[in-house]
Amino acid sequence: MRVFTISIALIGCVAATPFAARAQNVGRPFEFGLDAAAQFGLGDTHFTTIVLPAQRARIGYEFSNAASFEPFGTFIYQSAGGFSSTSLGLGAGILFFLTGNTSAAPASMTSTVSRIYVRPFAVMQYIRLSDGTDSNSDTEFGFGGGLGLRKPLGSSRLATRWEVNIQHVGGSDAFTSLGLLVGLSFFTR
């Protein structure tokens, strides 16, 4: 399983390399962010998960004035009374901006204009559970979509992100959930 996870990470890095090279030539900034999250299970799978101050890390690159590519990752480890769980999530999405001036210069527009966006995304989750004597692991794939707002904080390189999303993860323990994300973004210029 470790080889599979490393392979997925390497494929993601290789896929993002052309975006990084293009960003240096075009002058578009990168967006680095952390998001706090609340997630609520829907249907037969009822659960509530709240993670503060940050559940996931993300890196965004606006490849045009109307869209941004954004890989993200999560890691959660819990241990209590001989029981432990490890969860690793990797995913990628594309933000399609519905508002904001799409004719402005990319470097000046990114962090200074409030923008509403939709974000389709795909995820891969690896989960390992252990009770001290026995362990079980599973890898599941899913997809989802969100609607959000990126709002600048003054004229600085900082912005807040607010998003509501829904996702479905398949596999042996399939579930659908409603998520709320609140994040902080930093732009490289």
Q: What residues contact residue 56 under an 8 Å CB cut-off, 6+ apart?
A: 34, 35, 37, 72, 73, 74, 89, 181
pTM here? 0.78
Q: Domain 2-187 falls in which CATH fold?
A: Porin (2.40.160)
Predicted confidence (pLDDT) per residue in 14-59, tens digit: 455 555 544 444 578 899 999 999 999 998 888 898 988 898 999 9
Q: Where are the domains of the chain?
A: 2-187
CA-CA-CA-CA torsion for 99, 35, 40, 166, nearest 10 degrees?
A: 30
Residue (of 189, 188, 179) closest to 35 by Cα position: 179
- DSSP β-ladder status, 135-152 and 175-187: unpaired
Predicted confidence (pLDDT) per residue in 152-171, tens digit: 987 778 999 999 999 999 87
Percentage of the chain lying above the pLDDT 90 cut:
50
